Chains A and B, each alone.
Chain A
Amino acid sequence: MAIVHQFSYARPSNLDEALALMDRHAAAAAILAGGTDLVVNLKEGRARPSIVVDIKGITELQRLHVADGKLEIGALATFSDLLRAESVRTDFPLIAESAGTVASVGIRNRATLVGNLCSAVPSLDCGPALLVHDAQVHVVSIHGSRAISIHEWFTGPKITALQPGELVVSVSIPRPIKPHASCYMKLGRYRGEDLAQAGIAVMAVDGFTYRIAHSALAPAARRARFVESILDGAVLDQGVLRLATAALAREIAPITDMRATAAYRRHLAGVMLERGLREAVRRLHARGPVALGRLP
């Protein structure tokens, strides 16, 4: 299937060149990294840029390292890069666990976490993990740079706080200081390649505090602050879990679409929250290999 829409192509070799192009073309410029979303959108007519700016020649955007207790993920880091990085697997296992659920190997070899963030579909797999980690999105334009909290990033379905002319250079993820463990639960129609019908990330932090975020259960991925407040300081027993599940049902706004009905999503969200909490707590008190946090 050919792309009908015509555009020009630029492959800047440094950030300044890229930002100058983006300043000149603003909303008419589309950024190309892995292309797994952009090329589909070009084919299906949803993206009609006058210029495609391929950022793969900008080597500084490839960075993927841990410094000062923070993981920095450059705009060109693919999901496969994240899965291969020892520092991600050992110190940020929730990021690795989420990355492993994205589509399939052939997509993960090209698709970037930053691209996933910029596409901002409500079902994005990296969203819940970044939300529980209080990530920061680092953005530059010809006018300067700014950091956007992940909590202010998603402004609606496929809408973000990114302005025309701005480019995401990296995402930084602080590692919680206290002992913690986490779990990503993804609900799909089948094992293997599929978008999430619902996604829930849970982080249990030593001292009985819990961080919870969800995707595909509201117009945008977000933290479940009401559920967190109910769980704060609590030991997980059946009564607390029932309260938390009821709180989650009030906090989410699932829709019916081709992947699931709203009622199904609402019901399974509660099941996933409970399983996610139990698994995160189990991992907090355990060492050794852990099961994938995916529903059977």
Chain B
Amino acid sequence: MTNITFVLNGEARTVAVDPHDVLLDVLRDRLGIKSPKAGCNRGDCGTCTVLLDGRSARSCLILAVEVAGHEITTLEGVGAECLTPLQESCIALDAFQCGYCAPGVILTATELLRDNPHPSEEEVKEALAGNLCRCTGYRSIIDAVMAAGGSP
């Protein structure tokens, strides 16, 4: 095992990992970060999404050793002080039902709105194409992201 240090939600954390340890498992089982979920475990469903140096990435496809010296943001680090406008609009518009996909969707949409504050519906759909939701049919999620983007 080797110690790696990385910034997790704004705070430097050190954890001992083996080369074959997957970031998702290290976050959930050793660092108490439960918002990234295990879904397909092969990069298709997006429920394990984290932001790596500000860009959305699949934590199920990243070895923990790879993030040494990097910055990881999970839902725990988004709106920690107060909810973001995106989170507020997700609540106001009942964006989610079971909520399993919510952390991944919110992180992916956070990246989108940062890069493109007023996305078109097409751009929202394209950005969220890799985040599967089996409850809502996506309509309420797209509406919430559009509302947060100020172009309903």
Contacts and interface: CB of A to CB of B under 8 A. Distances in A.
A193 B42 contact: no
Contact of A2 (B25, B130, B131): B25
A2 B58 CA distance: 15
B19 to A, nearest CB: 4
Contacts of A35: 61-63, 66
B38 interface: yes
Interface string A190-207: 011100000000000000
Interface stretch (B5-13, B43-51, B80-88, B91-99): B43-51
A52 B19 CA distance: 9
B27 to A, nearest CB: 13
Contacts of B52: 109-110
Interface band, chain A: 20 to 34
B66 A106 contact: no
B30 to A, nearest CB: 12
Nearest to B68: A11
B56 interface: yes
A6 interface: yes
B63 A105 contact: no
Given A1-B41, A9-B65, A106-B58, A39 B22 contact: yes
Contacts, number: 96
A208 interface: no
B130 A8 contact: no
Interface string A9-53: 101000000000000000000001001100110111000000010
B127 A2 contact: no
Contacts of B60: 1, 39
B55 interface: yes
Interface in B105-120: 108, 111-112
Contacts of B63: 9, 32, 35, 39, 52
Interface string A266-283: 000000000000000000
Given A3-B20, A5-B20, A54-B66, A105 B43 contact: no
Interface string B22-34: 1001000000000
B145 to A, nearest CB: 13
B111 to A, nearest CB: 7
A104 interface: yes
Chain A contact residues: over half helix, strand or loop, or mixed?
Answer: loop
A103 interface: yes
B20 A6 contact: yes
Nearest to A38: B61
B74 to A, nearest CB: 14
A40 B43 contact: yes
A182 interface: no
Nearest to A39: B61
Contacts of B18: 6
Contacts of A112: none
B57 interface: yes
Contacts of A7: 19-20
A82 B55 CA distance: 15
Nearest to B46: A106
Contacts of B16: none
Given A40-B43, A192-B129, A193-B44, A110 B61 contact: yes
Contacts of A107: 43, 58, 130
A2 B17 CA distance: 13
A7 B20 CA distance: 7
A4 B108 CA distance: 29
A106 B20 contact: no
A80 interface: yes
A110 B58 contact: yes
Interface of A: 1-9, 11, 32, 35-36, 39-40, 42-44, 52, 54, 56, 80, 103-107, 109-110, 191-193
Given A9-B63, A43-B42, A104-B130, 16 more contacts: A4-B20, A7-B20, A11-B65, A35-B62, A35-B63, A36-B43, A39-B60, A39-B61, A40-B61, A105-B111, A105-B130, A106-B43, A106-B131, A107-B130, A191-B129, A192-B125
